[in-house]
Amino acid sequence: MKETHSRSVSKAITYRIAATIALGIITWIYTKEFFTTSAITIVFTIVATALFYLNERAWNRIKWGKRRK
């Protein structure tokens, strides 16, 4: 079973929303600075989203663990 690009993107976005909220809260607890919290959260979210998408696409090419119909 192949996964479409749009499904991979949707999974990446929904996961990143939850992870971004968690990262923002954790960063705020440690820094108490709005600018620092925002910068860290935004940069990390962009990088992590791209890495997640690339990871999903790479795993889609690996046959290990998939069942044939």
On whether the CB atoms of residues 27 and 41 are closer than 8 A, the answer is yes
> 38-44 long-range contacts, Cβ below 8 Å, gap at least 24?
none
Please give the Cα distance from 10 to 23 (Å, whole number): 20
Domain map of the chain by residue range? 5-61
Identify the residue whose tokens are 């795993």: 59
**Model pTM?**
0.67
pLDDT tens-place string over residues 22-66: 999 999 999 999 999 999 999 998 898 888 889 988 988 888 887
